[in-house]
Every structure is written in structure tokens, then in C-alpha cells.
């Protein structure tokens, strides 16, 4: 369980996360939605303990987040950030192995290498194993990063995946595969918190959706409770319609092309 109690975050005098509260559970995917600059990445950084709340507290498992040592935290949750720039030339396999760094001292064990192999297989990047990271396409790099975060917690049965826009750069097939994989991990007992820009992907795969607007919690609940024309218009300033389709558990959101100028 991750419990967020009245968390705020200030930069100077500007409050970029304001009084956010929610509970995320293992076995579930929580999607975070919101316009550019709404505070999504900042909230994820707070959840990772990369930055500390100005007010409120975050409980991770059963302890306050700041009470964890970095290595202890890295063995329980893995994080995909938005910008993964590297100045050194690693192969894809070496990069995925970095996910195992919190688990071994000196040399990786056979078990670590198995975890790397499994994560590369499940993300479909085994064929890229020996390729230098910087020569990979944007989407291939993103899948290598995904394999790294999966390798990190693959053997932590109740671990957490914290993903900031993981579908960035992925084509339609790989976006779906990523969400299917996240769904599968949640069904096996992991907790997943995932920032997404695609409302329909979030509605199709998430158990809970949190919408942020200017740092505030604008809506929180199941896709059915949260995804409606008013909430989307309020959060994104664009008029949408909902379209029922028997293949989707939640109506699809389609834009009408009318932008809120107010």
C-alpha cells in the first residue's frame, strides 16, 4: 500500500502539488492524468522519495517514506522517469542489468542474469541485447528502460512500478503491450502507478484514476466515476464526447475539436 496524506510541495512560494491524498494498492493500476504542468511528475518524484513533501506524509508499505534507506527502497520499487539520458555507451543488456544493481554486490549472480533475461524477453528486446543504447531508436530505448525497471523488481512479489509516461515514443502495438504487461503485473500482486496522457488507455487498464489540475486533486476514483465530459473539460480545457463501444469497459473519449478559450 502507498498512502498519501495531504501532501503538498512548494517551490519557492509556488505550490505545485496541493493537498493531495489517495491510497494505491498492490494488485491495482493507478493512472495519473492531467494537463502539461499539472504536477504529475512532481507527485511521482514525491512518491519515489526523490523530493520531500513540504507538508503531509507518504506511507510506503507500513513506514513513512523518508525512513527508508535508498537501497532498501530500490529493492521494493522501481521508477521509470521521463528523461533517461546517458552519457556513456552501454549495451541494452548492460543497461537492463543496472536494474539489478540494488540486489548484488560486485558481480551479478545467475539469478540476477535470469531476471535480466526474463525482463528482456517480456519487453521483446532480446534481439537488441548487444546493441549500444545510443544507437537505438527512441521507442527501442524506452523499451530497454522498461526492461530495466521490470528486472529491478521482477522477483519482488509485492513490489511497485512507478512509471512516468511509459508509453512515450512507443507505437500503438507497444503501447498496448506495455499496459497489458502492467495489468498482468498488477494481477500478480504488484502495485503500478503510471502517468499517462492517453485517457482511453488509462480508462481501459487502470483500476483508479487520479486527475490533477494545477497541482490539485481534481478527481479520484474508478474510470467509470472519473472519466466524464465535465472532468475532462475541466482538466484539459477541451470539449469531448463519450462513445460507448462494446469492446471497452469504459466509454471512449473523443475530442470534438472545440477548445475552451475561457
Say how far apart CA 60 and CA 76 lie, in whole Å: 10
Please report, as ranges, the residues that interact with ligand ATP according to CB under 6 A.
Answer: 11, 16, 34, 36-42
Task: Give least dist CB 121 to ligand ATP, A.
Answer: 30
Provide the minimum distance between the beta carbon of 199 and ligand ATP in the complex, in angstroms, as a whole number: 13
Question: Among residues 10 and 252, whose Cβ is nearest to ligand ATP?
Answer: 10
Q: Which is nearer to ligand ATP, 216 or 233 (CB)?
A: 216
Helix or strand holding residue 151 (H, E): helix 138-153
In terms of CB distance, is 129 or 218 closer to ligand ATP? 218
Three-state SS for 183?
A: helix
Shortest distance in whole angstroms from residue 104 CB to ligand ATP: 33
- The rounded distance, in Å, linking the Cα atoms of 71 and 50 is 13
Q: Which 3 state secondary structure label does DSSP give 249?
A: coil
Residue 218 in grid coordinates: 481534481
Shortest distance (Å) from residue 56 CB to ligand ATP: 16
What is the distance between the alpha carbons of residues 239 and 151, in angstroms, rounded to a whole number?
41
Q: How far is the CB of 12 from ligand ATP (least distance, A)?
A: 7
- Measured from the CB atom, the residue of 16 and 185 that comes closer to ligand ATP is 16
Beta carbon nearer to ligand ATP, 35 or 98: 35
Q: How far apart are alpha carbons 88 and 130 in whole angstroms?
A: 15
Residue 202 DSSP SS3:
helix
- Residue 193: which of 20, 19, 28 has the closest Cα? 28
Amino acid at each position: 500500500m502507498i498512502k498519501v496524506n495531504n501532501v503538498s510541495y512548494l517551490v519557492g512560494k509556488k505550490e505545485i502539488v496541493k493537498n493531495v491524498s489517495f491510497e494505491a494498492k498492490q494488485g491495482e493500476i493507478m493512472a495519473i492524468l492531467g494537463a502539461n504542468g499539472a504536477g504529475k511528475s512532481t507527485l511521482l518524484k514525491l512518491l519515489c522519495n526523490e523530493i520531500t513533501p513540504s507538508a503531509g506524509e507518504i506511507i510506503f508499505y507500513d513506514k513513512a517514506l523518508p525512513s527508508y534507506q535508498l537501497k532498501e527502497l530500490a529493492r521494493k520499487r522501481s521508477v521509470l522517469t521521463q528523461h533517461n539520458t546517458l552519457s556513456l555507451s552501454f549495451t541494452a543488456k548492460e543497461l537492463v542489468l543496472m536494474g539489478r544493481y540494488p540486489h548484488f554486490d560486485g558481480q551479478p549472480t545467475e539469478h540476477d542474469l535470469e531476471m535480466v533475461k526474463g525482463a528482456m524477453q517480456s519487453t521483446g528486446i532480446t534481439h537488441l541485447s548487444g546493441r549500444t543504447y545510443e544507437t537505438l531508436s527512441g521507442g527501442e530505448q524506452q523499451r530497454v528502460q522498461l526492461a530495466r525497471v521490470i528486472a529491478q523488481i521482477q522477483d519482488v512479489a509485492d513490489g511497485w512500478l512507478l512509471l512516468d509516461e511509459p508509453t512515450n515514443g512507443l507505437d500503438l502495438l507497444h503501447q498496448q503491450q506495455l499496459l497489458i504487461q502492467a495489468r498482468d503485473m498488477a494481477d500478480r500482486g504488484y502495485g503500478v502507478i503510471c502517468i499517462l496522457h492517453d485517457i482511453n488507455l488509462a480508462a481501459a487498464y487502470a483500476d483508479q484514476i487520479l486527475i490533477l489540475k494545477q497541482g490539485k486533486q481534481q478527481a479520484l476514483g474508478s474510470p467509470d466515476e472519473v472519466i466524464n465530459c465535465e472532468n475532462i473539460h475541466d482538466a484539459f480545457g477541451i470539449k469531448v464526447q463519450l462513445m460507448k463501444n462494446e469492446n471497452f469497459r469504459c466509454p471512449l473519449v473523443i475530442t470534438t475539436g472545440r477548445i475552451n478559450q475561457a
